[in-house]
Amino acid sequence: MSSQIISLIAPAKLTVSLKVTGVRADGFHLIDAEMVTLDLADELVVDPSRTGLEITGKFAGDLNKTDQDLTNNLVSRALLLAGRKAHVRVTKNIPAGGGLGGGSADAAAILRWAGFTDLVSAAKLGADIAFCIVGGRARVLGIGEIIEPLEKMHREITLVIPPFGVSTPAVYKAFDELTDFDKIQLNNSGVNDLEIAALKVEPRLATWKQRISKTAGAEPILAGSGSTWWLDGKFENLAEQLSDATVVVTRTK
């Protein structure tokens, strides 16, 4: 087993569409989603000769204690799942709490490094981790462990991340409160079933949707559980006009 220090790339994921189709007895939600890998990525340096976690980068300061614990937990649990020990330095380029899978991407990078390929176990660690291991463009089913690759579509994406995050567990809890799975017909006309629940958890999202729509002249889509809104195409002017947000123009991989 190599003790060589190695650098890893942990690409963000974008949930292009999301349907929640049910919930299992163990509490895991069943999904039918399309996900794509983005150029935007965290960077990890793994040193197997020691242990610990260090978080740096331009978005490190945005991580509150809960976010730090989540990142620490996912990276640590990924190491444990793979039966490895290492010191990991994470450079955060993916904004925290934005629904772009930053913590999941970091865990997936560790599992790829360790040669871990059990997608079922990876999905139990985090619903997005299995996809982040595989990457590309795919239909994602089950609790996230069923990955059906799709033909790649290279496109530019504009991400608008408000100056606050949204808790994914809180959004799913609100979704469950709003949904009767015995009558699994959601009153949701959009492509993301979680949007209504996310707006309930964080009402400021509605204001941001309106601001982005007015400024861009196009209606944005919520990325996963939020807080990121995304637009298909290149809208560089948004960075100046929405200066209180983080605006990132990226590409699918």
Q: Give me the residue spans of the domains in the chain.
A: 6-149, 156-251
The pLDDT value recorded for residue 2 is 62
In the Cβ-directed half-sphere of 232, how many Cα atoms lie within 13 Å? 9
Q: Give the active site residue among 42, 62, 67, 128.
A: 128
CATH numeric code, 156-251? 3.30.70.890
CATH class belonging to 6-149: alpha beta
Closest CA to 234 of 208, 252, 222: 252
The span from the CA of 149 to the CA of 36, in Å, is 10
Active site residue 128: yes
Mean pLDDT, the chain cut into blocks of 10 residues (253 residues total): 86 95 90 96 96 82 51 83 95 87 94 96 93 97 96 94 90 87 51 92 97 96 94 93 93 94
Active site residue 106: no
Domains 6-149 and 156-251 share a fold: no
DSSP classification of residue 194: T
Q: How far is CA 244 from CA 49, 72, 159, 163, 247, in A?
A: 42, 28, 13, 7, 9
Which DSSP helix (H) or strand (E) runs through 80? Answer: helix 65-82
Single pTM value for the model: 0.89
The pLDDT value recorded for residue 32 is 95
Q: Give the active site residue among 13, 92, 124, 209.
A: 13
Q: Is 20 helix (H, G, I), strand (E, B) or coil?
A: strand
Write the Ramachandran bin of 35: left for phi over 0, alpha for psi from -120 to 50, otherwise beta. Answer: beta
The pLDDT value recorded for residue 62 is 56
The span from the CA of 82 to the CA of 117, in Å, is 9
Q: Any bridge partners for residue 89, and if so which? A: 45, 54
The pLDDT value recorded for residue 61 is 59
Q: Which pairing describes strands 146-149 and 221-222: parallel, antiparallel, or unpaired? A: unpaired
